[in-house]
Structure formats: structure tokens, C-alpha cells
Amino acid sequence: MAPSVRLSPAARSLFDEPLAIAVQGLGPRQQVTLRASLRDETGELFQASARYQAGDDGQLDLARCPALPGGSFSGLEPMGLLWALQPQKPFWRLIKRDVQSPFLLQLEVLEGHGERPGRLLAQAQHERAFLRDGVRRVPVREGRIRATLFLPPGEDTFPGIIDIHGFGGGLSEPRASLLASHGFATLALAYYGFEDLPQQPKELHLEYFEEAVNYMLQHSQVKGPGVGLLGFSKGAEVCLAMAAFLKNITAVASLNAPIAATCIPFSYKDKVIPTVAIYEHKAKATNSKFLDYSDVIDDPFQAPGNQSRIPLEKAEAQFLFIVGQDDHIVKSEYYATEACKLLQAQGKGNFHILSYPGTGHCIDPPFFPLYPIGSHPVFHKRAVLGGELRAYSKAQVHAWSQVQAFFKKYL
């Protein structure tokens, strides 16, 4: 029998879901290298490889067979070929702009364990999709709102979430599309640098975000009485400000958030939150000559930085703070801990912190490749974002399941 790759699901799976990989038809205890490849929308290549030995029966099941040393990972890691994918171009991030088309994953089985790949024994292709069958993608241009709404299959009402991306502007849809595939009506909301929204806003008016909340609550397929918010970095900071000032926000999941206004002040009616001071000269060069920016922001829990702190004690929402202990952009663990101390001092228990070792600033849905060094969102210099491959891959999977459980509980 010729070797062949067996995948489950066979042809297509959601990007954030596990994929079972096995090889059959090998020789007894045959040594092979498995290689996974994926090209992004610009054509850049991401690859991972691992060394394996088949069983006595010529079968190789990644759920039962550990990878041997010498590849991108070792040990029993059924999804290692996906979470260990790394760009061939240094400091490149895997980004999905068009969620209506899947990524195409190539799997190859190569003979032996040599430095140079041996003969090709078998191969397979698999689509990693962002939309489950039946999920609807609806562009939203209502009033000032610039967004995309993703609705799960069916005519029911669904818990509503507004998903807000980090610094850099534009509209990011992957997280929202995946959440809709798991049963949430999710609005991916742009707030600057997109279409006719301001390119470089002088202030972020919370009235704009209030319009988005009202849009969701008036939608016939969004289950009220409130909505959830999911934000990353600057987007999480926006979510915290929304919870502090706006009504009908029930639950906020925050990924590595500053707890203060950074770079762009917030305004709501006659109230303004000024930006916290950021000192570029406090960046530290690491051994690898990249810059560590973790100490450049004034402490929002001490004067004078506390004038920029978002008053979370005013919020009625439940908070889930997700923080990477190796975040070198924002002191997210310190911020979340201090914010929760303040809430506790007010007699509130509406918070929970999930803190992940070996995890940096970027916390994406499962199986997005680690992005440990990249361009700083504000200074546009090469910066340490943090994170370590295996720990981060575990954190992604755990955090994503916790985000969904949190919204199911409170929405």
C-alpha cells in the first residue's frame, strides 16, 4: 500500500479548530519528516516540520506518536505542525484580510530525517476556513458606523459581541468571523483609518461606539438586553472606556489592554480623558538589538498618569482580563492586577484575570503563528512583542475557549 495522509475533518476545517493528522502505509518503524506549508494573501510562505517514526504496523498518528528532536517542535503535539508554522521572511505576521476565502494548508511526508528533505512519499491539501457554512457576512454602513456584521446560521437570536482591533486602524474580520462560526452575532468595528473614518483622529468620541452598541441592540437577531465587547491592545482600551461610560454593556473580554488612554484621548459628552505620557527614550535595547518598550508609559495608577486612567469602577459590566506575562508593549499583567484591586476596594467582584506565562502582546485565536518581534504600533521601530512558541500556542487555545465560555455565561 502506498503511503497516504489521512485528515479529519477531511477537506476543510475552521482555522481555530483542531485537525487530526495521520499517515498510513509506511514501512514498519520507518523514519519520515512531516512538513506543513501555508502561503498568506501576499504569497509569503509559513512552514513547520517535524521528525517522526512510524509504528510497527507502518501507521503514524500524531495524536499518539511524539515528534522526535530535530524539527520545529518535539514531543506529543497533535497540532504542532500548525502552531509551529513560522514565516520564511523574518518578522512577518500572518494576517487574514479576506475571511471569505480559506488559507490552503499543504502537508507533505518526506523520507528520512536528513537536513535536506528526502523523497516525497505522500501529500495532502486542506482548507483552513474562517466562515462556517451558513455564516453570513454583512457589510454595515449605518450612520457613522463602518463595520462588518457576522451572523451565525439560522434565524434565531444570538448573543451580540462588538470586536475591536488594536492600534493601526482599518477593519479586521478574522476574530469576528470565527466567533460567529461559534454562535455569536459579532460586529467587527473599524474606528479610524478605514474608508471615510478619520485617518488620524485627534479624539476618539465614545458616541461613535455608542452608535455601534445601539445598532447591535436594535438588530432583530441580537439577543439583548446588553452586548459583549472583545478588544485587543488599543481596542481593549476602547472597550474598557465604553464599559465605563456607556449603557447596555454586559461583559468585556480584554486582551493585553492599557488601562489608560494612550496616544488618542477619549471624549464623551463633556468629559475628556487625556492621554498618558509616553517616553520613547525609556525604551531599552535587548541583547538582540530589538527595543523593549514595556517601561515607556507613565504609570496610570500613580500621579500624574492617573488622570488618564479609565474609571472602570463606574462600569456595570463583567470583566475578563487576559494578559500575557511576557508582554513587552504594555505592562498588561500589572495593569489588570491593579485595576482589579481598585474594583475590589469598591466592593466589586465583577472581574477575573487569566494570566499566561510565555505569552507576549499578541494573543490571537488558536493556531495563528507566534509573532514575537514586530513593528511597534506607535514608534514603528522593530520591537520585542514577547512570547515563546509552545507556551503561546497553549495560551491561545485556552484563552479562546475561556472567551467563548465567558460570553456564553454573561450574554
pLDDT in tens, 27-85: 999 999 999 999 999 999 999 999 999 999 999 999 999 999 999 999 999 999 999 99
Characterize the bridge pairing of strands 45-53 and 120-129.
unpaired
Question: Residues with Cβ < 8 Å from 372, sequence gap 6 or more?
Answer: 360, 384, 385, 386, 387, 388
Report the C-alpha gap between 133 and 158 in whole angstroms. Answer: 17
Q: CATH 2.60.40.2240 region(s) of the chain?
A: 4-129
Q: What is the pLDDT of residue 381?
A: 85
Q: What is the pLDDT of residue 1?
A: 83
Q: What is the pLDDT of residue 268?
A: 98
Q: What is the pLDDT of residue 115?
A: 87
Residues of the chain with pLDDT under 50: none
Q: Find the catalytic residue in 13, 72, 181, 233.
A: 233
Q: Find the catalytic residue in 165, 327, 328, 376.
A: 327
User: Is 288 a residue of the active site?
Assistant: no
Q: Say how many C-beta atoms besides its own lie within 10 A of residue 359's C-beta.
A: 28
Long-range CB contacts (< 8 A, 24+ apart) of 62-71? 62/20, 62/21, 62/22, 62/34, 63/20, 63/22, 68/113, 70/113, 71/33
Across the beta sheet with 266-268, what order do the strands follow? Answer: 204-205, 266-268, 271-273
Q: CATH 3.40.50.1820 region(s) of the chain?
A: 136-410
Report the C-alpha gap between 367 and 149 in whole angstroms. Answer: 23
Sign of the alpha-carbon dihedral angle for 373, 377, 379, 380: positive
Q: What is the pLDDT of residue 376?
A: 84
Q: What is the pLDDT of residue 375?
A: 86
User: Is 4 a residue of the active site?
Assistant: no
Taking only the tens place, the pLDDT of each residue in 101-138 is 999 999 999 999 988 889 999 999 999 999 999 999 99
Report the C-alpha gap between 383 and 381 in whole angstroms. Answer: 6
Written out in words, the top-level CATH class of the domain with range 136-410 is alpha beta
User: Is 361 a residue of the active site?
Assistant: yes
Report the C-alpha gap between 307 and 17 in whole angstroms. Answer: 43
Q: Find the catalytic residue in 126, 165, 219, 361.
A: 361
Across the beta sheet with 86-87, what order do the strands follow? Answer: 12-14, 120-129, 103-111, 31-39, 45-53, 86-87
Q: What is the pLDDT of residue 56?
A: 97
Whether the bond into 304 is cis, omega within 30 of 0: yes
Q: What is the pLDDT of residue 83?
A: 97
CATH superfamily of 4-129: Acyl-CoA thioester hydrolase/BAAT N-terminal domain (2.60.40.2240)
